[in-house]
């Protein structure tokens, strides 16, 4: 490991960089929170890292009456999200970046003629030499995707005769399988699939991408990555906060739609997929599709009852502070049956994963914010150290996605002294150890990939539909099944006790702490 770190820090080491062509980024919904909080800071990081092309501009588009100067002030010069950067760099450097940003007011509606917008794009294109390469980022509700795509098409802004045209859409991509198909069909009316980039910021995280490298570039893992050596797989996504100001949105979505269908099933696909023929984007996405299609769909009530659990957090005290229950949150129906905790046990129907259970949970108001994958390996068939208790402590490969990003291997070692007392030891790697290497944030990485036309980390239409095909029966059961339980759990604990029944017989949930190498207790309730 030490050699690896020295290698990465070596000044002669240079990552292979793809060419980023001159282009314009057009952001719809530019007056919203996402633009100021995530997109513009990501673009600034690309700017200071010299990752932007020579000729690059951003055109913000929205229904707010801002103009170029007000927009620059809002997202750069007075933005709280770039306050640190304004202190770090001189004013001229910041201003030079801000001057790359422009704004066009659409008026009262997104669904209008884009004739004026097309002229503004054309003028900026000619003045700043972006060579007809336009990327449209739709930071808007999904209901506006098709109208915006149509209006762009009406002005020929989807035409790639003179430069490429790409469109990026944010999740949620659909509310169900049917609505996802409608969204896909609507976009495909005006843009080809190769022009559409469905962004999932989780796939931009370095450790998610490292799943591919961990699996396919290391001979110590790939031969073991199957049912012969892996006992079960566990994925936890936990947030310490509640729904905050998103109660109105969240109550119509829930944990299964908000996190499981998109982020977590994409991670599952990377774990389950077969080796692609190459690192080509389409080859990787082809294998991800096969993986998602191999998930065993649960469509009878008995199976769904035994393998799914939903719950809501209830009021409690955390660190001495009163915390509202979910039904007490602003914008939430007082009789809501929307889940803030979802846990699902499922199987994968292919040779590699036959009979290996997957346990995936996601929730709000947990003890800490964390996302990680745990690969539990089988114990040796012949145990010669039974009296040491080592058989109750399986080998684990822990891939921490956030925070404290890194990889942890847990394995058995002999405790010094007489006899064979065996204990678990940790071997770990942290991305924070790469102090001289810039680790890109998720939006930074994904935006740069889209600028370069690399769709590897973006979901394809058939992937999205395959994920919904697995999730839809669960949602239908929870909404319409007989005697479906909604459990409660105190805010600040690791979910309802009933969730332990789901994993009973194979072990117990790993309740991770903020630090990768540690495991927490069951709860932090005061």
Query: Is there a cis peptide before residue 199, judged by omega within 30 degrees of 0?
Result: no
pLDDT in tens, 66-95: 899 999 999 999 999 999 999 999 999 999
How far lies 56's CA from each of 23, 90, 97, 461, 473, in Å? 5, 21, 10, 29, 45
427 closest CA partner among 413, 411, 414: 411
- Evaluate the CA torsion angle 108, 112, 117, 119 in order and state its sign: negative
The fold of 203-440+459-503 is Dihydrodipicolinate Reductase; domain 2 (3.30.360)
pLDDT in tens, 405-418: 778 887 666 656 55
264 closest CA partner among 202, 215, 306: 202
Residues marked as catalytic: 263
Phi, psi of 343 (to 5 degrees): -130, 135
Which residue matches tokens 């402590």? 393
Residue 149 has pLDDT above 70, yes or no: yes
Q: How far is 446 from 43, CA to CA, in rounded Å?
A: 11
| In the chain, domain spans | 16-172, 203-440+459-503
377 by Cβ neighbours in 10 Å (0-12 / 13-18 / 19+) ranks as middle
pLDDT in tens, 256-285: 998 898 889 999 999 999 988 887 888 888
CATH number given to 16-172: 3.40.50.720
pTM to 2 decimal places: 0.85
pLDDT confidence of residue 419 = 54
Q: Which residues contact 151 (CB under 8 A, 6 or more apart)?
A: 110, 111, 112, 113, 114
**Does residue 169 or residue 206 have the better pLDDT?**
169
Lowest mean pLDDT among 24-28, 143-147, 209-213, 464-468: 209-213
Q: What percent of the chain has pLDDT over 70?
A: 86
Q: Which residues contact 117 (CB under 8 A, 6 or more apart)?
A: 61, 104, 106, 155
Residue 296 has pLDDT above 90, yes or no: yes
Q: How far is 141 from 368, CA to CA, in rounded Å?
A: 29
Average pLDDT over residues 324-347: 92
Q: Which residues contact 458 (CB under 8 A, 6 or more apart)?
A: 197, 198, 199, 200, 203, 446, 449, 450
Average pLDDT over residues 463-478: 95
User: How many of the other CB atoms lie within 10 Å of CB of 273?
Assistant: 23
Mean pLDDT of the chain: 85
3-state DSSP assignment of residue 491: coil
How far lies 424's CA from each of 66, 207, 363, 427, 499, in Å? 59, 24, 29, 10, 26
Position 398 confidence tier, pLDDT thresholds 50, 70, 90? confident
Position 2 confidence tier, pLDDT thresholds 50, 70, 90? very low
């Amino acid at each position: 490991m030490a050699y690896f770190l020295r290698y990465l820090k070596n000044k002669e080491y240079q990552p292979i960089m793809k060419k980023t062509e001159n282009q314009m980024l057009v952001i719809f919904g530019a007056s919203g929170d996402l633009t100021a909080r995530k997109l513009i800071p990501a673009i600034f990081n690309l700017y200071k890292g010299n990752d932007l092309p020579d000729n690059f501009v951003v055109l913000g588009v929205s229904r707010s009456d801002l103009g170029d100067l007000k927009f620059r002030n809002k997202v750069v010069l007075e933005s709280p999200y770039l306050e640190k950067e304004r202190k770090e760099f001189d004013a001229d450097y910041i201003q030079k970046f801000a001057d790359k940003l422009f704004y066009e007011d659409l008026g009262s509606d997104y669904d209008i003629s884009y004739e004026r917008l097309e002229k503004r794009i054309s003028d900026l294109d000619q003045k700043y030499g972006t060579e007809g390469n336009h990327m449209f980022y739709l930071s808007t509700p999904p209901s506006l995707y098709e109208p915006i795509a149509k209006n762009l098409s009406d002005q020929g802004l989807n035409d790639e005769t003179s430069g490429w045209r790409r469109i990026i859409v944010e999740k949620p991509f659909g509310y169900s399988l049917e609505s996802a198909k409608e969204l896909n069909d609507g976009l495909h009316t005006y843009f080809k699939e190769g022009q559409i980039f469905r962004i999932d910021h989780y796939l931009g995280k370095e450790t998610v991408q490292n799943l591919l490298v961990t699996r396919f570039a290391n001979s110590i893992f790939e031969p073991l990555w199957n049912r012969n050596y892996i006992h079960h797989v566990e994925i936890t996504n936990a947030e310490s906060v509640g729904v905050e100001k998103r109660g109105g949105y969240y109550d119509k979505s829930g944990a299964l739609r908000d996190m499981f269908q998109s982020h977590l099933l994409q991670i599952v696909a990377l774990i389950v997929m077969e080796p692609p023929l190459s690192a080509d984007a389409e080859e990787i996405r082809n294998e991800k599709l096969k993986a998602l299609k191999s998930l065993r769909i649960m469509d009878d009530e008995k199976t769904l009852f035994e393998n799914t659990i939903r719950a809501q957090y209830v009021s409690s005290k955390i660190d001495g502070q009163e915390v509202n229950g979910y039904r007490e949150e602003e914008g939430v129906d007082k009789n809501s049956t929307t889940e803030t905790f979802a846990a699902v046990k499922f199987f994968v129907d292919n040779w590699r994963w036959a009979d290996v259970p997957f346990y995936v949970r996601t929730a709000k108001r947990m003890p800490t914010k964390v996302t990680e994958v745990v690969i539990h390996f089988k114990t040796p068939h012949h145990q010669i150290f039974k009296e040491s208790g080592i058989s109750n402590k399986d080998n684990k490969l822990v891939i921490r996605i956030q925070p404290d990003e890194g990889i942890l291997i847990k394995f058995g070692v002999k405790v010094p002294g007489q006899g064979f007392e065996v204990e678990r030891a940790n071997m770990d790697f942290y991305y924070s150890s790469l102090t001289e290497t810039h680790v890109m944030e998720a939006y930074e990485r994904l935006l740069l990939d889209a600028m370069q036309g690399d769709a590897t980390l973006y979901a394809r239409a058939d992937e999205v539909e395959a994920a919904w095909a697995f999730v839809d029966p669960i949602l239908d059961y929870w909404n319409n099944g007989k005697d479906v339980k909604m459990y409660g759990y105190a805010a600040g604990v690791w979910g309802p006790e009933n969730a332990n029944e789901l994993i009973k017989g194979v072990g117990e949930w790993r309740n991770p702490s903020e630090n990768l190498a540690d495991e927490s207790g069951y709860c932090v309730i005061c």
